[in-house]
């Protein structure tokens, strides 16, 4: 399973659209296939109740997106905060320890077949 370049693609999208959009890293729950029920890190943009998800090629209402993805935890970054995180961490994300842990667990499950 390939989870894609969701962090890098979302960073690049924020550079294109700029303020007042914000970058969001969050923990979502997979809805189908081998990731169904799995919690993992994801990235998207938000502004004024609208979501842009470049990885899923989706745009929609934030409330519906959060409900569909069962999003219970996320961190939001303005353009300037994102730039700082890129310099500090030297990676596109995730930068939050909780989201990083969810991503690490998801990769271990996918790679080694560990149970959720």
Q: pLDDT digits over 33-82, tens only?
A: 888 889 999 999 999 999 999 988 899 999 999 999 999 899 999 999 99
Identify the CA nearest to 41 among candidates 81, 13, 5, 79: 5
Q: pLDDT per residue over 54-66, tens digit each?
A: 988 899 999 999 9
Q: Does 100 fall in a domain?
A: yes
| pLDDT of residue 1 exceeding 70 | no
Number of domains in the chain: 1
Q: Does 18 fall in a domain?
A: yes
| pTM recorded for the entire structure | 0.89
Identify the CA nearest to 15 among candidates 103, 100, 92, 90: 92
DSSP string across 42-55? EEEEEETTEEEETT
Q: Does 1 fall in a domain?
A: no
| pLDDT of residue 17 exceeding 60 | yes
Domain extent, residue 79, equals 6-112
- According to the model, what pLDDT value does residue 111 have? 73
Q: Does 73 fall in a domain?
A: yes
């Amino acid at each position: 399973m390939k989870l894609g370049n969701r962090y890098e693609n979302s960073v690049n999208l924020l550079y294109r659209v700029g303020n007042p959009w914000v970058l969001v890293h969050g923990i979502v729950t997979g809805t189908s296939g081998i990731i169904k029920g799995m919690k993992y890190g994801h990235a998207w943009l938000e502004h004024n109740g609208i979501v842009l998800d470049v990885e899923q090629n989706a745009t929609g209402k934030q409330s519906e997106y959060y409900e569909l993805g069962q999003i219970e935890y996320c961190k939001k970054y303005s353009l300037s905060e994102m730039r700082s995180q890129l310099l500090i961490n030297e990676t596109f994300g995730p930068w939050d320890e909780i989201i990083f842990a969810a991503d690490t667990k998801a990769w271990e499950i996918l790679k080694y077949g560990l149970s959720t």
